[in-house]
Amino acid sequence: MQSSLNHRSRASFLSALFMGLGQIYNGQWIKGAILTGVHLSFLAVEFGSRLIEPLNSQLGLRGRSIIGHALWSITTLGERPGVRGDHSLFLLIDALIVLTVLAVFLLVYIGNVLDAWHTGKRRDQGLRIVGFKQNMTDLYEKGFAYLLLAPGTGMMLFFVVMPLLFSISIAFTNYSLHNAPPARLVSWVGFENFLSIWRIEAWRNSFVHVFGWTVAWTIFSTLSTFFLGLFLAVLLNHPRLKFRRFFRTFLILPWAIPGFISILVLRGLFNDQWGHVNQMLAAVGIAQIPWFNSIFWSRALILIVNLWLGFPWFMILCTGVLQSIPVEVYEAAEVDGASDFQQFWRITLPLVLYAVGPLLIMSFAHNFNNFNAVYLLTGGGPAVPGLRAAGGTDILITWVFKVAFDELFRYNYAAAISLVIFVIVAIISIWNFRRTRQFQEEDMIS
Amino acid sequence: MKNFTKYAALALLTAIVFSTLIGCRPAVRVPDKPEKLVVWEVAEQAESARKLAALFTAKYGIPVEVVEVANLEQRNQLTLDGPAGIAADVVTWPHDQIGPAVLAGVIQPISEWLARGVKDEFLKPALDALTFDGQLYGLPKAIETSALVYNKALVANPPTTWGELLSLAEQHTNRADNRFGFLFDYRNFYFVHGIFAGMGGYVFKFADGKFDTADIGMNNAGAVAAMGLIKELVDKKLIPIATDYGQMDDQFVQGRTAMIVNGPWSIANYRARGIDVGVAVLPKLPNGRNQASFSGVKGWYVSAFTKHPYWATKLIEFMTSKTSLESRFADTGEIPPRADIQITDPIAAGFLAQAEFAVPMPNVPELGPVWGAIGAAIEVVARDGVSAQQALDDAVKHIKDAIAEMK
């Protein structure tokens, strides 16, 4: 019985050779048959498709196997331009789909090898082999969460990850209105787009201009809404306040109205010439403010409007936090002779920041990409001559939209800039999650 | 080697036979009739298109399906649906998108399939608009341009000269009441092109059915003078800096503004809101010339993906014939670009009169950066007091750079 110690190596070797063989060797017949079936159907699709005529021509295989075709597609992006030739974008998407499915298949394959190894190990240890029925029960009982997550994950793969991969790919091609299928083929250009945006003066100026304002906008818009929200929450939490519920409801209203609508209304209210804001200011003797026709004032305008739209969110959050601070803390502070001001800075603010911190950082990420506030209000204007499709209030995300769809139709540049945005937001988010974990480990109230 | 000679001789023989055959083939070989043709039309005009399609079916026995697709969606959808084989045979959009569509390879030239003499029936500028790189890509069904739209209750006789315009505008302006006599979207190149082109500026030199995109005339003396005229309107506070299309529209609907510059699409709303609208030719410029406003032409084009280009072209011919476009005008009110149709409706006649002086928007994709650059130039001249020459020089440099990057 010396060889029985080697069941795990033999089973995993067999499963690595062909899916399901290891399971059959272990005596798990049904599981083994299913896995073998999966492998067989994979091989049938991979090599059989080109033999079936409508499939072969419809997929444009031209005698290649499916994976072979995907690799050819993604490396060449097509060889014959024209209406009846290769369509680079379709080839790219098809290849991404095939490679995604292949990745899923490989994961299953690895799982199959590991499973054979584990079962083999049980045999080596002289434990009982679990039957198929028991497998299913285990899956249902222990892996129920995974069962529920599986469809969603699958959808994510194809509706989120795939488009993401596609747009990342576009950033490394020369795809623009002037170089688009079916008339022309798209090809890979490496980091050319990123370099061009940096090398060509007008593009560099545009990027620096837009990026600078995006950062300033992100900081000011988030902090302004946070502090106004906190301020109002403190007021609402004041023990001597009457009609608290009324005020709270009242102050949430700006948040209850869809931003899309209030922005368009505010756009009319702030019109330099006919808007009510300037007319009211004129009534008290203040000269017309060029809300939409000066870079400074239009920037101020979107900050003001965003403040209006955004403060209720932080107000509600802070109210919740404030209510959870024990009254005894303040009573103790008062006994120690702390002023109201000191109480706020030393007790309220740190405790609120402790709780709201992670959300504050997510809010930075949100405002970094706050398309509506800018695009619906000023459309990125006022104009700044000499920039590529960028205006005085454009942030990166609105600039991307204008580069791709409004004016220049440089899909490749837009994708490249999007990738930069993606990296920045990803860094903020990752940092945020790590911080959140730190928060959990620390104990602030001790 | 022996084989090679044999094949070469055979090939030569075949070539000779074929060239003689081609020499004596009939002018147009009529291909088999398709099972059905599909037309994309915008929702508002689909009813009229269905009517014409039914007549076509009655005449040729080919069923035609009219599918509603928005104007600005069609090019994108054709790019996606075409290769998949589920797109229409006949599509429509404003002519300025022809260049991008041809570059993308989604529509095809139709001259090969056209019946003789058809081209002569249309207004020449309308056909020019549908020509790209010397090739005709469709037949026009409607022409539109911006003209002077005025409130008859406020202005009895529309101004015909620039001087009259200024004095009428002044007369109807009451700054204390925030009322202005004449408003227009002065930063939108579409609406100011008439002034620029009338004074001698031009976007791209047009010759022999082609635009020379290297020759930009937006910073010549005429263009600078035109910028001066716009600046004068702003400096005299006849037009507030904040004027945009929405505000102009709103003021006109409220009956607070006597005169605006707008296109045929806006009239129905003004009438519905009870404004007694008149349409007139844009006032002559100080140099005595008429404003050469931009005109937009809408045509029907043949998809590059269709299997039946001949019958698709016949359908277009049919839908743009005299009787068809008369029926279309009655149903949709869109002005037909044919010389042989008499227009009696005063509104349509007003726009048609301005169309005589209009030039089609260039249909080359190089027009893309022009909108933003000229708009920005007007804005900085009006807002920051940058000199007209300086602003336009910068704009032209910007346009040239942007075009160079496209290649």
C-alpha to C-alpha distance for A35 and A27, rounded to whole angstroms? 13
Q: Taking CB atoms and an 8 Å cutoff, what residues of chain A touch B251?
A: 274
For the cut 90, the answer to whether the pLDDT of residue B356 exceeds it is no
Contact state of B242 with A383 under an 8 Å Cβ cutoff = no
**How far apart, in Å, are the Cα atoms of B372 and each of A140, A342, B206, B377, B402?**
60, 53, 21, 9, 11
CA distance A163 to chain B (A): 16
Helix (H) or strand (E) holding A295: helix A295-324
Two domains, one topology: B37-144+296-360 and B146-293+363-406: yes
Per DSSP (E only), the strands in B287-329 are: 294-302
End-to-end CA distance of chain A: 61
C-alpha to C-alpha distance for B107 and B45, rounded to whole angstroms? 21
In this structure, of A82-91, B315-324, B369-378, the range with the lowest mean pLDDT score is: A82-91
Task: Outline where B142-281 has alpha helix (H).
Answer: 162-171, 189-199, 221-235, 245-253, 267-272
The pLDDT score that the predictor gives to residue B24 is 44
Tell me which chain A residue has its CA closest to the CA of residue B379. A383
For the cut 50, the answer to whether the pLDDT of residue B21 exceeds it is no
C-alpha to C-alpha distance for B193 and B217, rounded to whole angstroms? 12
CA distance A263 to chain B (A): 15
DSSP code at position A404: I
Q: Which residues of A touch B (CB under 8 A)?
A: 81-83, 87, 90, 176-178, 180-184, 200, 202, 271-274, 279, 290, 292-294, 382-386, 388-389, 407-409
Contact state of A90 with B100 under an 8 Å Cβ cutoff = no
C-alpha to C-alpha distance for A34 and A111, rounded to whole angstroms? 14
Task: Report long-range pairs for B215-218 (Cβ below 8 Å, ≥24 apart).
Answer: B216/B396, B216/B399, B216/B400, B218/B370, B218/B374, B218/B392, B218/B395, B218/B396, B218/B399
Q: What percent of chain B has pLDDT over 90?
A: 68
Instruction: Give chain B's mean pLDDT.
Output: 89
Residue (of A394, A368, A371) closest to A383 by Cα position: A394
CA distance A169 to chain B (A): 19
For residue A382, give the nearest of B103, B106, B379 by CB distance.
Answer: B379
pLDDT tens sequence for chain A (446 residues): 445 558 889 999 999 999 999 999 988 889 999 999 999 999 998 888 888 877 787 777 888 889 999 999 999 998 888 777 888 998 999 999 999 999 999 999 999 999 999 999 888 888 888 888 888 888 888 888 888 998 999 899 889 999 999 999 999 999 988 888 888 899 999 999 999 999 998 899 999 999 999 999 999 999 999 999 999 999 998 888 888 888 888 888 888 888 889 999 999 899 988 899 999 998 898 888 999 989 999 999 999 999 999 999 999 999 999 988 888 888 898 898 888 888 888 888 888 888 888 888 889 889 999 999 999 999 888 988 888 888 999 999 999 999 988 778 889 999 999 999 999 888 888 887 787 766 565 555 54
Instruction: Count the neighbouring beta carbons within 10 Å of the beta carbon of residue A163.
Output: 12
Q: Which residues of B touch A (CB under 8 A)?
A: 79, 82-83, 100, 102-106, 178, 187, 240-243, 247, 250-251, 304-305, 365, 368-369, 371-373, 375-377, 379-380, 383, 391, 394-395, 398, 401-402, 405-407
Instruction: Count the neighbouring beta carbons within 10 Å of the beta carbon of residue A248.
Output: 18
CA distance B29 to chain A (A): 23
Tell me which residue has tokens 């942007």: B402
Cβ atoms of B144 and B264 closer than 8 Å: yes
Q: Taking CB atoms and an 8 Å cutoff, what residues of chain A touch B380?
A: 383, 385
C-alpha to C-alpha distance for B147 and B349, rounded to whole angstroms? 11
Contact state of A181 with B405 under an 8 Å Cβ cutoff = no
Tell me which chain A residue has its CA closest to the CA of residue B243. A273
Test mutation, A293, A378, A393, chain B, max B CBs within 10 A: A293
DSSP code at position B289: P
Q: What is the pLDDT of residues B43-64, one digit of tens each?
A: 888 999 999 999 999 999 999 9
Q: What is the pLDDT of residues B81-135, one digit of tens each?
A: 887 788 999 999 999 889 889 988 899 999 999 988 898 899 888 998 999 988 9
Q: Taking CB atoms and an 8 Å cutoff, what residues of chain B touch A272?
A: 240-242
Count, residues in chain A: 446
- Name the amino acid, one letter, at B345: D
CA distance B306 to chain A (A): 10
β-pairing verdict for B37-41 and B64-68 = parallel
The pLDDT score that the predictor gives to residue B231 is 96
- Name the amino acid, one letter, at B344: T
The pLDDT score that the predictor gives to residue B11 is 53
For residue B380, give the nearest of A183, A273, A385 by CB distance.
Answer: A385
3-state SS, residue A305 = helix
Tell me which chain B residue has its CA closest to the CA of residue A200. B405
Segment B236-252 shows an average pLDDT of 92
Find the radius of gyration of the CA atoms of chain B.
Answer: 25
- φ, ψ of residue A66 to 5 degrees: the values are -60, -50
- Name the amino acid, one letter, at B153: A
CATH code of the domain occupying A194-445? 1.10.3720.10
Contact state of A274 with B398 under an 8 Å Cβ cutoff = no
Cβ atoms of B243 and B262 closer than 8 Å: no
CA distance A105 to chain B (A): 28
Buried b (16+ CB within 10 A) or exposed e, A413-432: bbbbbbbbbeebbeebeeeb
The pLDDT score that the predictor gives to residue A437 is 65
Buried b (16+ CB within 10 A) or exposed e, B107-145: bbbbeebbeeebeebbbebbbbbbbbeeebbbbbbbbbb
For the cut 60, the answer to whether the pLDDT of residue B186 exceeds it is yes
The half-sphere exposure of A299 on its side-chain side, counting CA atoms within 13 A, is 18
Tokens of B233: 């309107």
pTM comes to 0.83
- B146-293+363-406: CATH topology is D-Maltodextrin-Binding Protein; domain 2 (3.40.190)
ipTM: 0.78
Residue (of A180, A41, A49, A22) closest to A105 by Cα position: A41
Confidence of residue B173 (pLDDT cuts 50, 70, 90): very high
Contact state of A292 with B242 under an 8 Å Cβ cutoff = yes
C-alpha to C-alpha distance for B344 and A343, rounded to whole angstroms? 80
3-state SS, residue A386 = coil
For the cut 60, the answer to whether the pLDDT of residue B25 exceeds it is no
The pLDDT score that the predictor gives to residue A341 is 86
The pLDDT score that the predictor gives to residue B20 is 46
Spans of all domains in chain A: 3-190, 194-445
CATH architecture of B37-144+296-360: 3-Layer(aba) Sandwich (3.40)
Spans of all domains in chain B: 37-144+296-360, 146-293+363-406
CA distance B117 to chain A (A): 30
Q: Taking CB atoms and an 8 Å cutoff, what residues of chain A touch B105?
A: 81-83, 181-184
Tokens of B72: 């600005």
